[in-house]
Amino acid sequence: MGTDTQFDFVENGSVTSPLGFLACGVIAGLKKNKAPDLAMIESETECSFAATFTSNLFPAAPVQYDREICANSPKIRAVVANSGVANACTGLDGYNNAKRMAELTAGALSVPVGQVMIASTGRIGVQLPMDLIENGIREAAKSLTHNGGSSAAHAIMTTDTRPKELAVSFPVGDRIVTIGGMCKGAGMIAPKMAVAPHATMLCFLTTDADIDNALLSELLGNAVEASFNHITVDNDMSTNDTVILMANGASGAKIGKGSEAAEHFAEALGMVTEHLARSIVFDGEGVTKFVTVEVTGAASERDAELAARAIANSPLCKTAWFGCDPNWGRILAAAGYSGAVFSQENVSLDFDELPVVRGGLDAGTPESELAELMKRREFTVKIDLGEGEASATIWTSDFTYEYVKINADYHT
């Protein structure tokens, strides 16, 4: 992609690694365990921005509110996000509470209310305790720092076991551009987000590049499609999925459409979103295995994705992976009911380097060898449909006893 350039992962990288951004995480009191539950990100100057949201037909109140910001505001300055309560399926009161979150943040930061975006994650169908939210926002506005990215990443966690954040930098002329990001997500993970205005995955991205909304929207859409839209933990799409990218131009590096710098920005953004997307699967609820499902030889991209998603979301496949059971019939069955068109006698299957199926039949590798391979923390299921040149990759996980326990106990 263009000439070679140097991409560097920033040590202890976060959303405050790019110039001109502040962040924090505070305890508002929404979580029973009194862990940090309200995060705030602010830019010292106005930002160009782009966002993608869930395509769920029950969009949460913050998603509805943010879509309006995308339609009406050319710039933003801040994002505030709470965990513990999703503010989804909460009706007009929920929408008014979402709007109130933005108003409170705008007032505390002395910025226009139309320049504040919001996000929520947690339990669905519960109204936000606005007294706690109000106090939390006031506390957060006083706690913003240039090294507060990590505390913000902790504050958006729900069933996550660890924060997920990083930053990548690269040169543009004599300037250095940095892209920082943080996300949360461990369950209800099967995003399929659309670029505006067209348990949850939230992602917040910051950059000090000078880049306009239209190009940001194009690049973010491509990056999200190639990363977050290709992960699944449990095939449950959240009501709250949100990705927001803010660009404040503080590096002085201007990036225009069609430029080599834009190619490098796209590559760096892809590095950040792919890393964060994979980290969500690694930290999925109860997950012990990270499984890449790689479909090749499909007659069309649609067929490739249908087969990959059917395998990646199959409870029978996912429980077999947990048990290190090389029951490859479940994989072929999932491909067979996926809607993809192929002939069984053309199908090949491999687990990493080991042949499993050839011509639709057992390839002869001893089950003991396959079972030993499946003890790996990470492995790839490769299925070639033998019909064409199209391919698709989905990152997924196993289903475990712990997943059931977490989700059986989550409400109470």
Task: Give the DSSP H/E element, type plus range, for residue 306.
Answer: helix 301-313
Q: How far is CA 201 from the centre of its chain?
A: 5
Largest CA distance in the chain: 69
Eight-state DSSP code of residue 20 = T
**166: three-class secondary structure by DSSP:** strand
Report the 3 state secondary structure along 257-293.
CCCHHHHHHHHHHHHHHHHHHHHHHHCCCCCCCEEEE
Catalytic residue among 16, 54, 159, 200: 200
Closest of 292, 251, 281 to residue 268, by C-alpha: 251
DSSP 210: B
Contact 154, 182 (CB under 8 A): no
| Residues 90/126, Cβ–Cβ less than 8 Å | yes
What's the CA gap between 74 and 218, in Å, rounded? 16
Of 161, 163, 399, 160, residue with least CA distance to 287:
399
Does the annotation mark 200 as catalytic? yes
Euclidean distance between CA atoms 387 and 53, whole angstroms: 34
Residues 6+ apart with CB under 8 A from 38: 25, 26, 27, 28, 30, 80, 81, 82, 83, 133, 136, 137, 139, 140, 155
Whether the Cβ atoms of residue 293 and residue 396 lie closer than 8 Å to each other: yes
Are 152 and 15 contacting, i.e. CB atoms less than 8 angstroms apart? yes
DSSP helix, strand, coil percent of the chain (3-state; round to 5): 35, 30, 35
> Which active-site residues does the annotation give?
200
